[in-house]
Structure 1
């Protein structure tokens, strides 16, 4: 199955090559000009989910995501969401995304992958199928010049059982991702994955340089039905040593422009002290403001705390 998919993608990889090289050159030149001397220590990216309502409704064109990020929000790095491209997945679609992002001078950072099965499924066949289901997103990420795909570590059973099952699926997928030169990064995204100690233990058990975490400031709810929640500050501290990405979730703001329900000064201090200097992605999920306003307010907050866009 993997061979047939690789053959299918040869066209997309070839068609995207020129635009990827152009984008890479732009990125290198841009980053050479950046310096920590002005107090800026990370780059801001935009998660596509921040505009999910507009994409689902058709108000905005998913194929123009890079153009929207650059022209409407002044952000030149983006994080795709696979759900918007499942139905129309093709080499032609991928090449068009590469063309648009290259034309805008926008860096493609990662693809967030959902609805592709549980990488820690107790059933061996289903776990293997989940790994297979992620291959097309590795291929798309490689064609776009991304650095990673973001996955989930969903499983079932007791704490230690889920630990071993999730580690098995992640290790196997990471070994495949390595052949593409890509990382597999896990978000705290409900269930035991929102338990910082558990997710850190998974990373240690996987023990693969291509496998890491994507700490999300707002995703520490373990059980939505009972309301069980893990301490977000402890959890962030526990999984930041493995971070290859960070998601700056926001829901609402106070009059001073800070996130109303999260201590962003504390969270960003944890991130900075960990030594992380990669992209931090805006992920607006609030209902109190429209999507563009929520995104711009999150951008302003991140810039205040050391972000470059």
Structure 2
């Protein structure tokens, strides 16, 4: 006898689609990118026994040392180069020469998006402009910003939403999205940041959910549930950051369940890039990146 479940499955198979529990289609398509923060020790010349890596050679390193063909830049490695069109043309050329795609620029130290003072929020927008120009020049789809603010839970939501709307308006002519990472403070509270996204309600404003950044207050140790947070932030995601700190002998990250998180990512309907962000002390940079990449690939294969 064919029951209702078997009938639906048979019809789905006949149409070429199968829907799993939770409404997920089979095997979402994911690619792997490399966050530049992963190579900070090489850029700073702090890796024992390794040559210092020029930020201009980020694409060469990603492709040839890590087998990764998509990049997430960090603006702090390019401070002093703002507005230098020739420099970013060279950065783009080196990426193009490697067949590597530029995805986004992570913007830090540009002011508080949700500063209580309107003049400061306007200044923050101005400080992001050079990085919007660089992102557009490189062919990125987004800039990543930080949702800094002060005040009550709801006051900060309102202030950050206002700042993001201002940023989105300026980013629009560049063809860029403005995305927010859970990156400390209330931004690491998934419910708070999801509430900000609902307040903004713009197609060009979204999130960059990070597997690891759910520490709200380092002094008190207050930490948000990472799995709950990922579920809350994924509906707005325009990128995903797979942060890693340490691995066991089997190649599993010791502080978080990549398999569980990748199921949350897949169940959200997201498809696109998963960014490697190695932040551990040991092993070295390249090995840490490759371990993270391998674990992401295993977690994707297990979906």
Among candidates 63, 68, 88, match of residue 61 of structure 2: 68
Query: What number of residue pairs does the alignment pair up?
Result: 271
Bigger radius of gyration among the two? 2
Instruction: Give a deviation string over 1:146-194, Cα, whole Å, max 9, x none.
Output: 0100100110011111010000000110122122111000000000000
Partner of 2:109: 115
Q: Say whether the 8 Å CA contact 1:101–1:107 is kept in structure 2.
A: yes
Tell me which protein shows more helix as a share of its residues. 1
1:184 is aligned, of 171, 178, 182, to 178
SS of 1:286's partner is coil
Tell me whether 1:215 sits opposite 2:203 in the alignment. Answer: no
1:88 matches 2:76: no
Q: Distance in 2 between matches of 1:225 and 1:115?
A: 21
How much has 1:210 moved relative to structure 2?
0.3
Give the deviation of 1:91 after TM superposition: 0.8
Is 1:148 matched up with 2:142? yes
Q: Which residue of 2 aligns with 1:49?
A: 37
C-alpha deviation, 1:219, in angstroms? 0.1
CA contact (8 A) 2:247 2:253 kept: yes
Structure with more relative contact order (C-alpha pairs < 8 Å, separation 6 or more): 1
Partners in 1 of 2:294 and 2:154 — Cα distance? 41
**Pairwise CA distance, 1:145:** 0.5
Are positions 1:231 and 2:225 aligned together? yes
* SS of equivalent residue, structure 2 residue 179: strand
Pairs within 5 Å for 1:7-22: none
Deviation of residue 265 (structure 1)? 0.9
Matches of 2:38 and 2:246, distance apart in 1: 13
Displaced runs of 4+ in structure 1, greater than 6 A? Answer: none
Q: Give me the whole-angstrom Cα distance separating, in 2, the residues matched to 1:198 and 1:38.
A: 31
Instruction: Give distance in 1, aligned partners of 2:148 and 2:249.
Output: 37
3-state secondary structure, aligned to 2:94: helix
Deviation for aligned residue 1:306:
2.3
- 1:78 maps to 71
What is the CA distance between 1:39 and its match in structure 2?
Answer: 5.0
Q: Match of 1:137?
A: 131
Secondary structure at the aligned position of 1:122 is classed as: coil
SS in 2 for 1:79: strand
SS at match of 1:128: helix
What's the Cα RMSD here?
1.4
* Secondary structure at the counterpart of residue 238 of structure 1: helix
Contact kept, 8 Å, 1:41 with 1:306, in 2: the verdict is: no
Distance (whole Å) between structure 1 residues aligned to residue 110 and residue 54 of structure 2: 23
SS at match of 1:283: strand
Q: Which residue of 2 aligns with 1:29?
A: none
1:273 to 255, 267, 291: 267
TM score, norm. by length of structure 2: 0.87
Mapped partners of 1:65, 1:218: distance in 2: 23
CA–CA distance in structure 2, aligned partners of residues 59 and 283 of structure 1 = 19
5+ residue gaps, structure 2: 1-24, 46-50
